[in-house]
Amino acid sequence: MSSINIALDGPAAAGKSTIAKRVASRLSMIYVDTGAMYRAITYKYLQNGKPENFDYLINNTKLELTYDEVKGQRILLDNQDVTDYLRENDVTHHVSYVASKEPVRSFAVKIQKELAAKKGIVMDGRDIGTVVLPDAELKVYMIASVAERAERRQKENEQRGIESNLEQLKEEIEARDHYDMNRKISPLQKAEDAITLDTTGKSIEEVTNEILSLL
């Protein structure tokens, strides 16, 4: 499937990255996690004491994606691998704000479009089907109930050794969705030609197979 691109969008913790990784590996395609790019910029924003001049921040930022056979996509921020810090609560709490800023979005979208130019990419995010890859051959909009998304995120956090509270996770997920859906630039929305896939109650294998059959 090196001649097509697949766009996977949807709200927070809907299982996009888990599914996108599986689909990519089954089709020998490359998985690109765009959320990690916004998280890396947010990490830098926090490290720099939350500067409000996003033009300056971005003009002095170097962001590269590399692939490790075992660990998958890695993010190099100013030549340093920051991937392991990107799921920290502080980053999660600020990422929607940082991702709403125009200089941040145009910087990330440019890199994403370049990565997908040669095709063979499964990309997940919020604006992939609408803005980054409007011509993607398959667009899926993944949704799931908030309760299930919070539970999945809690399990994921446990595995990563990050403490979390279920009720708090639900509130955070809802707040992040609300912010992402209502921002001025490229808000989270389903592309007109995307297929909605509700993953509530479905296993990873089931959802992966549904996407493969959609192809």
Question: Would you count residue 180 as binding ligand C5P (CB under 6 A)?
Answer: yes
Tokens representing 25 are 């590996």
> Given the rule CB under 6 A, which of 48-56, 120-128, 166-174, 191-199 is the region that contacts ligand C5P?
120-128
Contacts of 42 (CB under 8 A, 6+ apart): 91, 94, 95, 98, 99
How many degrees, rounded to 5, is the angle at CA 102 between CA 9 and CA 120?
40
> Of 6, 8, 12, 24, which lies in the binding site for ligand C5P, with binding defined by CB under 6 A?
12
Using CB atoms within 10 A of its CB, is residue 118 exposed (0-12), middle (13-18) or buried (19+)? exposed
Question: Would you count residue 10 as binding ligand C5P (CB under 6 A)?
Answer: no
How far apart are CB 18 and ligand C5P at their closest, in Å?
11
Residue 119's Cβ-side half-sphere holds a number of Cα atoms within 13 Å equal to 9
> Of 22, 39, 139, 170, which lies in the binding site for ligand C5P, with binding defined by CB under 6 A?
39
How far apart are CB 164 and ligand C5P at their closest, in Å?
14
> Given the rule CB under 6 A, which of 32-40, 44-52, 65-73, 136-144 is the region that contacts ligand C5P?
32-40
* Site of tokens 């089907």: 129
Please check whether residue 41 is in contact with residue 61, taking contact to mean a CB–CB distance below 8 angstroms.
yes
> Of 23, 35, 75, 173, which lies in the binding site for ligand C5P, with binding defined by CB under 6 A?
35
Nearer to ligand C5P, 29 or 180 (CB): 180
How many degrees, rounded to 5, is the angle at CA 136 between CA 195 and CA 128?
75
How far apart are CB 96 and ligand C5P at their closest, in Å?
4
Nearer to ligand C5P, 46 or 213 (CB): 46
